[in-house]
């Protein structure tokens, strides 16, 4: 049974479901020795969250590794291969939010863990609650991720430089 009370921010407590059509998970990464930026997105995303009466929240965001798309089919095939995401052996990339802290003016800090290729590491996201109504909320968060932390070390001729930036826009609706 879902609780129908609201938090101090006016959001309904209980279970929230990610709306895939209103959500996106995007990545950007420098390549060609830092001269070019590769941009991509994951087409298949899902998730749930739980909001308690005290305003505390936790949840899970899952992306299908094989749904990565950069606009270059050869690169996409390589990203899905064992040299990068290894989508056949590790089909899901999962972020588990253990704590969401809402600050002034919609600012958010989300503490959790990211699992890629079977490796889990702590990850903090910062962002905003862009739209909030009792039954729908849009959260926009961003994180910088070092792909080597997850075993993504392929780097022919040192072409890939620095960390990747992951940007998430998640529209959640109350499960009612």
- Domain contains 75: yes
pLDDT, tens only, 119-162? 999 999 999 988 777 789 999 999 999 877 887 675 654 456 66
| Torsion angles phi and psi, residue 167, rounded to 5 | -120, 130
Compute the average pLDDT of residues 17-31. 90
Q: Which two tokens stand for residue 111?
A: 């503490």
Is residue 4 included in any domain, yes or no?
A: no
* Structural domain includes residue 7: no
| Rounded distance between C-alpha atoms, residue 100 and residue 126, angstroms | 10
Answer yes or no: is 170 within a domain.
Answer: yes
The pLDDT mean for the chain works out to 86
Residue 89 has pLDDT above 70, yes or no: yes
Structural domains counted in the chain: 1
- 40: domain CATH number is 2.40.128.110
pTM of this prediction? 0.87
Quote the distance between the C-alpha of residue 43 and its chain's center.
Answer: 12
Instruction: Tell me if 111 is assigned to some domain.
Output: yes
Residue of 122 and 54 predicted with greater confidence: 122
Question: Residue 133: its pLDDT value, please?
Answer: 79
Residue with tokens 């959640």: 172
pLDDT of 9 reads 61
Lowest-pLDDT range, 69-78, 110-119, 128-137, 157-166?
Answer: 157-166
Residue 147 covered by a domain: yes
Q: What percent of the chain has pLDDT over 90?
A: 53
Residue 118 is assigned to a structural domain of this protein: yes
* Domain encompassing residue 75: 14-174
Q: Would residue 105 count as lying in a domain?
A: yes
Helix (H), strand (E) at residue 111: strand 107-116
Which pLDDT score is estimated for 148?
A: 79
- DSSP-H helix ranges across the chain: 73-80
Judged against a pLDDT cut of 70, whether residue 99 lies above it is answered with yes
Q: What is the pLDDT of residue 62?
A: 98
- pLDDT value for 11: 78
Residue 34 has pLDDT above 60, yes or no: no
pLDDT band at 36 (very low <50, low <70, confident <90, very high): confident
What is residue 157's predicted lDDT score, i.e. its pLDDT?
Answer: 46
Q: Give the model's pLDDT for residue 90.
A: 97
Asked if pLDDT for residue 63 goes beyond 50, the answer is yes
């Amino acid at each position: 049974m879902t609780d129908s009370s609201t938090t101090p921010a006016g959001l309904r407590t209980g279970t929230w479901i990610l709306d895939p059509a209103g959500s996106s998970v995007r990545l950007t990464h420098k390549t060609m020795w830092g001269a070019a930026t590769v941009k991509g997105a994951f087409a298949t995303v899902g998730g749930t969250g739980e909001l308690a009466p005290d305003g505390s929240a936790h949840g899970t965001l899952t992306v299908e590794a094989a749904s990565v798309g950069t606009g270059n089919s050869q690169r996409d095939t390589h990203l899905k291969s064992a040299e990068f995401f290894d989508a056949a052996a590790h089909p899901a990339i999962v972020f588990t939010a253990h704590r969401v802290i809402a600050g002034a003016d919609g600012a958010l800090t989300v503490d959790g863990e990211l699992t890629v290729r079977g490796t889990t590491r702590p990850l903090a996201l910062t962002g905003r609650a862009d739209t909030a109504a009792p039954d729908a909320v849009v959260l926009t968060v961003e994180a910088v991720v070092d792909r080597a932390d997850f075993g993504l070390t392929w780097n022919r001729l040192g072409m890939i430089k620095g960390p990747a930036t992951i940007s998430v826009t998640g529209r959640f609706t109350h499960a009612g």
